[in-house]
Amino acid sequence: MNALELNGICKTYPGFTLENISFSLPMGTITGLVGRNGAGKTTTLKSIVGTVHPDGGSVRILGQELGTNVMQDVGIVYDECCFSEILTAKNMNSVLGSVYHNWSPDLFLGQCERYGLPLNKKIKTFSRGMKQKLSIAAALAHSPKLLLLDEPTGGLDPVARGEILDDLWEFIEDGQHAVLLSTHITTDLDRIADRILILSDGQLKLDESKDVLLDEYCVLRGSPDQLDLLDRDEILGFRRNAYSFEALCKNRAAMAEKYPALVCDRTDIEQVLVLLEGSEQK
């Protein structure tokens, strides 16, 4: 069973359309959702949990339609802290304990302690990073099966980010859990993601295994006129300026053999994202 299935999700706002988004998240995997500002990542995540009502398409979480019961098994972390700022972590323990059947005070308070969060200070006194850690501790404390995270590590220092990534890894390790992680920090995904989804202007441009992306995709480089040597069908995206070009292609070994005059390098998630957006620069 997949942890999550999206089938043809659409949502239109004035000037923006999320178009026919379909993908699935197998259990035991971490999927990274990336894209430029305004690409539609938050709209996708909100459509999954129903805080945005899609114009079309369907969502299945753990094989079920969206509903209160299934939401007990979903942990959500938004990019902004959405807890009342006059509460303390200790207060939250009581409040959320009455919301989630599986809430574990030990898990929550233990995680707060691990993240170095004071239990008796009001949330309004927390730094951005502390609020993010609190949101993650709360999302994990009701033992969800699916975790949805919208830019959860943006305000965290590198040590804290590493800690959170380790926690996500541990979360999915037993093969019974899954994570969908929207982030601009692509190096985090280089480290822990199994799959990569790239959204561009409301469209799903790429749904690929991270290993395939890192092993089999490549960037061809050469002088601007050499771009015309390439078969356009092979180019997924490119950038060109007055001095050089970079083109994203699949089948690294075949490309290296076919175009020996060009440099053929491996790529990473950030470069794939940039080249898929493509541009001509003067």
Site string for ligand ATP, 263-282 (x = CB under 6 A): --------------------
Q: Which of 37, 68, 98, 281 binds ligand ATP (CB under 6 A)?
A: 37
Q: Does 38 bind ligand ATP (CB under 6 A)?
A: yes
Q: Does 100 bind ligand ATP (CB under 6 A)?
A: no
Q: Does 132 bind ligand ATP (CB under 6 A)?
A: no
Q: Does 32 bind ligand ATP (CB under 6 A)?
A: no
Nearer to ligand ATP, 34 or 264 (CB): 34
Q: Does 142 bind ligand ATP (CB under 6 A)?
A: no
Buried b (16+ CB within 10 A) or exposed e, 133-165: bbbbbbbbbbbbbbbbbbbbbebbeeebbebbb
Q: How far apart are CA 151 and CA 184, in angstroms?
A: 7
DSSP conformation letters of the chain: -EEEEEEEEEEEETTEEEEEEEEEEETTEEEEEE-STTSSHHHHHHHHHTSS--SEEEEEETTEES-HHHHTTEEEE-SS--S-TT-BHHHHHHHHHTT-TT--HHHHHHHHHHTT--SSSBGGGS-HHHHHHHHHHHHHTT--SEEEEESTTTT--HHHHHHHHHHHHHHHTTSS-EEEEE-S-HHHHHHH-SEEEEEETTEEEEEEEHHHHHHH-EEEEE-GGGGGGS-GGGEEEEEE-SS-EEEEES-HHHHHHH-TTSEEE---HHHHHHHHH-EE--
Q: Which of 4, 30, 32, 40 binds ligand ATP (CB under 6 A)?
A: 40
Nearer to ligand ATP, 13 or 169 (CB): 13
Q: Does 39 bind ligand ATP (CB under 6 A)?
A: yes
Only segment of 36-44, 102-110, 210-218, 227-235 that touches ligand ATP (CB under 6 A):
36-44
Nearer to ligand ATP, 42 or 72 (CB): 42
Q: Does 53 bind ligand ATP (CB under 6 A)?
A: no
Q: Which of 6, 34, 41, 139 binds ligand ATP (CB under 6 A)?
A: 41
Q: Does 35 bind ligand ATP (CB under 6 A)?
A: yes
Closest CB 273 distance from ligand ATP, rounded Å: 12
Closest CB 83 distance from ligand ATP, rounded Å: 20
Per rule CB under 6 A, count of chain residues that contact ligand ATP: 10
Q: Does 43 bind ligand ATP (CB under 6 A)?
A: yes
CB of 25 closer than 8 Å to CB of 177: no
Closest CB 246 distance from ligand ATP, rounded Å: 23
- Per CB under 6 A, contacts with ligand ATP among 5-24 are 13, 16
Interface residues toward ligand ATP, by CB under 6 A: 13, 16, 35, 37-43
